[in-house]
Structure 1
Amino acid sequence: MSNSEVAELPVLRPAVPCCPPLTQRPLTVLEAELTAAMFKALGDPVRLRLFSLVASHDGGEACVCDISDVGVSQPTVSHHLKKLREAGLLTSERRGTWVYYRVVPAVLAAMAGVLTA
């Protein structure tokens, strides 16, 4: 692949707004599983920090080169970013040698919606 080519890396499990606020009605088993997967992925401080770095980055997109200084090795950063992608919280796109990450647009709304009173 040349530096000018762009490759979209697949999201392994899309996160979608699935659930009503917790105060509205009890979650179904499936809703609880989907919601838990999102929050479990963010339950690690390094993952939460990486997610925050991507979400707050200018334009809502961050190159891995701009967010990898989180106090762990580069392979560990890659592992955590993979976990966030697998949970459907981030999408990624390879551009040349760098990978750029974005928060899946519906994710923040989904998480906020579940916690709304």
Structure 2
Amino acid sequence: MPLLTEDPLACCTPLSREPLSEEQAARVAPLLKALADPVRLRLMSMVLSHAGGEACVCDLTPAFDLSQPTISHHLKVLHEAGLLDREKRGVWVYYQARPEAMAAMSTLFNAPGVPAAEQLR
């Protein structure tokens, strides 16, 4: 899965406002597919909720019964989908959610007239 050079969600209005075009759906599907794996969804949640909003592979691996290379692979998939930024520091790689991707995902699933905090209740 190649790293996306443009934000695949930048084109999209909330699903509740108008149907996605075929092109928009094709651009959004890889992001949702990346998140559809339970390990990757947990990793995304862990990175987002980690102190400072970033986490090292070494911080994430103990929460799983998986090897560090497997966790790194899942993080790579999230990075290549455009959901995470990464920065190498020494031997470790630190991951942080892309604010633009999080805002776009929030917009995509925004229900009209319902505050964001109440949408998942």
How many residue pairs match? The answer is: 107
Instruction: Quote the sequence identity (%).
Output: 54
Instruction: List runs of 5+ in structure 2 lacking aligned partners.
Output: 112-121
- Report the counterpart of residue 82 of structure 1 in structure 2: 76
- Report the counterpart of residue 26 of structure 1 in structure 2: 19
SS at match of 1:27: coil
Query: 2:78 and 2:11 mapped to 1: Cα distance?
Result: 18
Q: RMSD of aligned C-alpha atoms?
A: 1.5
Per-residue deviation, residues 84-113 of structure 1 (Å, max 9, x unmatched): 011000011001111100000111111111
- Report the counterpart of residue 7 of structure 1 in structure 2: none
Instruction: Answer yes or no: is 1:104 the counterpart of 2:98.
Output: yes
Instruction: Answer yes or no: is 1:44 the counterpart of 2:37.
Output: yes
CA drift of 1:58 comes to: 0.9
Which of 8, 13, 20 is the aligned partner of 2:4? Answer: 13
Higher relative contact order (CA 8 A, sep 6+): 1
Moved segments of 4+, more than 2 Å? 14-18
Identify which range, 47-56 or 16-25, moves more after superposition.
16-25
SS at match of 1:68: helix
Q: TM-score, normalised by structure 1?
A: 0.84
Per-residue deviation, residues 42-72 of structure 1 (Å, max 9, x unmatched): 0000000111111111111111110112221
SS at match of 2:16: coil
Q: TM-score, normalised by structure 2?
A: 0.81
- Report the counterpart of residue 95 of structure 1 in structure 2: 89
Whether contact under 8 Å (2:57, 2:68) holds in the other structure is no
CA drift of 1:18 comes to: 2.7
